[in-house]
Chains A and B, each alone.
Chain A
Amino acid sequence: MSRRRRIALTLALVVAWPAAGAQPAPDAAEAGRKLYVSSCLRCHGIELATNGIGFDLRTFPQHDKERFVRSVTQGLRAMPAWGETLKPEQIDLIWAYIGAVNGWKPAQ
């Protein structure tokens, strides 16, 4: 529950992503969570907890978003290149989800 509260707190501080359709925009971290579950979870674990295939995103530095975007887009070692599948805006949403799980304070 404490993690959920933390996510909720972070959600409140993250600018919601404007969705393409007429639907109201979902919170960025929740939208990112959905993308993560479909595309990332099988290697990076449930709520980022993994000992396996993927990099442990619980240890990813908050200040290095550029490296995150590059690895996701181009691939790295066992990580496939997602550049043709995920749009930059979607990678931003996943970044927001990772930040929510890790309890990052929003950058000023």
Chain B
Amino acid sequence: MNTKLAHGLAAAAMAAMAAIASAQTIADLRNDAATPGDVSTYGMGWSQQRHSPLTQITAANAGKLQAVWNLSLDNSANASNQPLVIGGTMYIASHTHTIAVDALTGRQKWKTPIELPADIAGYLCCGIHTRGMAALDGVLYRTTIDAHVLAISMADGKTLWKQKAAEYKDGYTLTHAPLIAGGVLITGISGGEYGTRGFLDAWDLKTGAKKWHRWTTAAPGEPGGDTWKGDAYKTGGAPTWLTGTYDPDLDLVYWGVGNGGPWNPATRGGDSLYIGSVLALRPSTGEIVWHYQFSPGDPYDYDGTNELVLAELPIGGKPTKVLMQANRNGFFYVLDRTSGKLLSANQFARKVNWASGIDMASGRPIDTPMTAMVRKTEEMKDFIEVWPSAFGGKNWMPMSYDPGSKLVFLNSIDLGMKVKYVKQARPGGPNWYLGLELGGFVGPEDGNRGALTAWDPVAGKPVWRVLNKSPFWSGVLSTAGGVVFTGSQSGQFMAFDSKTGDKVWSFQTGSGISGLPITWERDGRQYVTVLSGAATVYGALAGDPDLANVPAGGSVWTFALPASR
């Protein structure tokens, strides 16, 4: 079938779909955070606050939560998908399938397979993930781990269009949810450990035609082109592997950019724009309106991709539109999202030895002597010990923000790493290109490698911490009922009192939890859904003895308070 005909048929099919589907519109996406009957966006709102106004489940009654249903995902990958709930149907994506489920009963309605090449998992740096979907007008949008973008009919799971974003054999993969903003579908790319060159794409929602393409490393002659050594920008990483946020009033999309390729900063030279940065983009054109680089040169794989949560905070007594990120580099950043101006950067990781702080005038880290040495030493003889490790002070598992208490709830990590920088030629294929050797990870003296932390983003300090031996590798959900939900890598799904951090409930699921909990309501009853199933890069690399004997195996759990009779 030729492309034009395929696009024409797809557009016709989608027009028909829109007529029969429930009226799910751009306005619904915009209001998602305030309309708990549906969860129609990744992050439970374009601001990705992952906070619900629902109050039926409270810290006082959460102890009575019961399982309502469980559904097997029939695979052993990370069950890291955030489901969507639209019109009483729950939509879930795994790397092998897209699934529709009756949200109240857990009965499967349809399940559509995705064909994947046998060698694809070798091109995923950090485990198999399919983190989320976008939805509009009866159509689901998702990515596949072999770097394709799909539009799928919500009614029957049929594929409406499929586009190739990049060639996986070149090291490109896709693991995140697309973003609908400014009338287009925006996707990023993974592959920062394979010597790829990062980018963002925008697609026509109806036909899948490409609307724009934005490289995320600066070429010679472009602004920032002089921040790279020679041709290093061509294999310089800068992946865009997590979903951005969107402010419809400013019409700006905020998208984080990841590590440099290789990790070895002396190989690349200079700041290597736009690695370790946030880009503020005009969604209709892909124009970069402003950027801020958290980790110039990024010597330690700190990325800049962690979720960029939008909120209004009182800064200097004035309500201010901000963007917040708990960066892997151990500092919690608050930026004015109209301009990109740095408002604060405070250490949230318990131990940091790569920088002594962030200079507020320049916005740049204040290097410790170790980091100054690393920046100019392409090859070294001995291992150094760096805090935080490449896992970061917090990894990708997203935090929540409660606009009532103005607190952030995040899962932090406290580990150091031993690392030695070496010269390496890009090996190509499914092989890592880091320019260093990992010698292992180092735990803190008290043995607590992680914490669930309530963080005050205005004061820039923790309010409470729940320390844990193995860091939680799950998203965080908070509610107006005063409950914070998250999951452990040993499989417990837990509720905490958001005021005190006291654990008020826990339930043992069948695998570790790497999922992103959501809450929703139907017929007056509040439900909480999370996926269980972990095969994380932390488990593979950290050598954490407390995670031995946790089996893989993905499934979906839904909980609620006992039904009133």
Residues of A within 8 A of B (CB): 37-39, 41-47, 49-54, 74-75, 77-82, 84-85
Contact = CB atoms under 8 A, between A and B. Distances in A.
Given A39-B430, A77-B76, A45 B540 contact: yes
B76 to A, nearest CB: 6
Nearest to A83: B119
B125 interface: yes
B547 to A, nearest CB: 4
B547 A51 contact: yes
A53 to B, nearest CB: 4
Contacts of A81: 118-119
5 contacts: A43-B540, A51-B544, A51-B548, A80-B121, A85-B430
Given A81-B118, A82-B122, A38 B540 contact: no
B126 A42 contact: yes
B431 A39 contact: yes
A81 B119 CA distance: 5
B541 A41 contact: yes
Contact of B128 (A41, A44, A78): A78
A80 B77 contact: no
A46 B543 contact: yes
A36 to B, nearest CB: 11
A42 B537 contact: yes
Contacts of A45: 540-541, 543
Contacts of A41: 432, 438, 541
A52 B538 contact: yes
A78 B535 contact: yes
B314 interface: no
Nearest to B544: A51
Contacts of B547: 51-52
Nearest to B436: A37
A47 B440 CA distance: 9
B447 interface: no
Contacts of A53: 127-128, 535-537, 539-540
Given A42-B540, A46-B543, 11 more contacts: A37-B437, A42-B125, A50-B540, A50-B543, A52-B535, A52-B537, A74-B118, A78-B535, A80-B119, A80-B430, A82-B119
Interface in B525-565: 535-545, 547-548, 550, 552
A6 to B, nearest CB: 17
